[in-house]
Chains A and B, each alone.
Chain A
Amino acid sequence: MLVCSALVLMMTGPGLALFYGGLVRRKNVLSTLMHSFAMMGVVTVIWGVVGFSLAFGPGTSFIGNLQHLFLHGVGAAPDPDYAGTIPLQTFMVYQLMFAIITPALISGAFAERMKFSGMLLFLSLWSLIIYSPMAHMVWGKGGLLNASLGGRFPCLDFAGGTVVHITSGVSALMCALYLGKRKDYPLEQLPPHSVVLSFIGACMLWVGWFGFNAGSALSAGSLATSAFVATHFAAAAAALSWMAAEWIHEGHPSALGGISGAVAGLVAITPAAGFVGPMSALLIGLIAGPICYLMVAKVKVAFGYDDSLDAFGVHGVGGTLGAILTGVFASHYVNPMFKDAQGNVTGSGLFDGNAHQLLNQFAGVAIAWILAAVGTLILLKIVDVTVGLRVTQEQEVLGLDLTQHGQEGYSVD
């Protein structure tokens, strides 16, 4: 579990940092890296002080209480409701890495035009007001959507399709709409300054995702293996299917397409990883690739919003797709989740004889969408009128590395 925690942190730094960093222009590379890196610092503090308690403390159906304020009671003893074989502190630090990467994902939507101070305030509040409640509802004791602990609408979300990807993806869309387009978009050409950096970052994401998904089994064993395998198969299938879609549509399969496809597959399998078999995982990946590709290449362009690094297109849409497909492909053979009144195991998903589960999946998806959309708009407004969100036009032209951080990513010497 400690290794998995380290892997998930690596997904943020440098995985996501490089993936996003390579996609922006040279003059903004440091700023983009800093969006991810800042979360490593800021969210850690917030989580340690109160975020963990709000997410995983007992409380209401919607939010935990302050029992674990300042990590009180989070020590060597396991909490059997969550993970009976590891210290609660291990569980806490593992979950922390999820809390770190989720807001970092949103930065893809406001890259190249967000004030650093505004970003810090916005994402700090986001972690408290959107991440902790959503994590509580799906994974916390008494959570409304918690499938393991008797939630009212048990939503199957193994590693965070709703908690991490839908919330961050939808939030990203709201940011893109609220902040508006980059000054040069879409008339000027804004190609990635280093697909090489993005490639390195994406491969780190793939490897790190084993910690994200397999680690969500919370102990080594057959379920962790199953989740590991499903994760890998979905990534591979989606990389291929995105490249195939590109090949047909544009005439070339590209490196950026391959890695984007892999990420889309990893996003889509995140809620399903511990509930589906390898062949279902392949299908989920095969479906996710072209759908996310079309979102990014056609739908985004048609609607005209500037989701700079496709946070919504890949995470929001991929996560939604994955959460719904979990309801289709989840199998009790992989992971028995539900029992009937007599204590016999019943089906998990649609193909497993449980069509009703799709409704619960939709409930989770809907709540994630609404919480993220409404919450984000409110937070954006608050930050806009206090600290400010967007840099000035001159700052945007000069570049955020110089204007926000006083440094250049690459110097001539």
Chain B
Amino acid sequence: MTKLEAVIQPTKLDAVKTALIAIGIDGLTVLEARGHGRQKGHTEFYRGREYSVDLLPKIKLEIVLRDERVDEVVKAIIGASQTGKIGDGKIFLSRIDEAIRIRNEERGNDAL
């Protein structure tokens, strides 16, 4: 089992969700995050004082998948969110030791 974490632009969330549903992925966790890679932030002004905002809003997706499905999910996410510009985001893959469905305590791939 593989955990897929994807940090994407918030504006791409709808497109990515649609792409994942289209290939039959229906388990998904979405987190609101802030961060940056090489993207620069912006400055805001309040009553004459400058504030630099370099933690930009991001969306983080977490999905745990059967190993066989990882490549098609990565392709779907990239296809829905890639623009070619700095700020597109990143995908990280890691190994998962176990998955358990709370409702009926199924384990392993059956729990995904």
Contacts and interface: CB of A to CB of B under 8 A. Distances in A.
Physical interaction between A and B: yes
Interface of A: 186, 189, 191-192, 195, 246, 249-250, 252, 254, 256-257, 260, 293, 296-298, 301, 310
Contacts of A298: 48
A189 B49 CA distance: 9
A260 B48 contact: no
Contact of A293 (B48, B49, B51, B52): B48
B51 A297 contact: no
Contacts of A252: 45
B26 to A, nearest CB: 26
A93 to B, nearest CB: 35
> Which 7 A-B pairs have CB atoms at the shortest separation, nearest pair first?
A297-B48, A189-B51, A250-B45, A191-B51, A296-B47, A191-B46, A256-B46
Contacts of B46: 191-192, 195, 254, 256
A298 B48 CA distance: 7
Contacts of A192: 46
Task: Find the residue from A189, A249, A254, A298 having the highest chain B CB count within 10 A.
Answer: A189
A38 to B, nearest CB: 25
Task: Find the residue from B44, B45, B47, B52 having the highest chain A CB count within 10 A.
Answer: B47
Contacts of B48: 246, 249-250, 293, 296-298, 301
27 contacts: A186-B49, A189-B51, A189-B52, A191-B44, A191-B46, A191-B51, A192-B46, A195-B46, A246-B45, A246-B48, A249-B48, A250-B45, A250-B48, A252-B45, A254-B45, A256-B46, A256-B47, A260-B47, A293-B48, A296-B48, A297-B47, A297-B48, A297-B49, A298-B48, A301-B48, A301-B49, A310-B47
Specify the main secondary structure of chain A where it touches its partner: helix
A337 to B, nearest CB: 37
Interface of B: 44-49, 51-52
A298 B46 CA distance: 12
Nearest to B50: A250
B55 to A, nearest CB: 11
Given A191-B46, A296-B47, 6 more contacts: A186-B49, A250-B45, A250-B48, A254-B45, A260-B47, A297-B47
A249 B44 CA distance: 13
Contacts of A296: 47-48
Nearest to A189: B51
B34 to A, nearest CB: 14
B62 to A, nearest CB: 19
Contacts of B51: 189, 191
Contacts of A301: 48-49
A238 B27 CA distance: 54
A364 B42 CA distance: 46
Nearest to B47: A296
Nearest to A251: B45
A111 B51 CA distance: 20
Task: Find the residue from B45, B46, B48, B49 having the highest chain A CB count within 10 A.
Answer: B48
Contacts of B49: 186, 297, 301
A36 to B, nearest CB: 20
A252 B47 CA distance: 11
Contacts of B44: 191
A98 to B, nearest CB: 26
A313 B3 CA distance: 55
A260 B46 CA distance: 11
Nearest to A250: B45
Nearest to B52: A189
A293 B44 CA distance: 17
A246 B51 CA distance: 15
A28 B46 CA distance: 18
Contacts of B45: 246, 250, 252, 254
Contacts of A250: 45, 48
A233 B47 CA distance: 23
Contacts of B47: 256-257, 260, 296-297, 310
A250 B49 CA distance: 10
B83 to A, nearest CB: 27
A257 B49 CA distance: 12
A6 B45 CA distance: 35
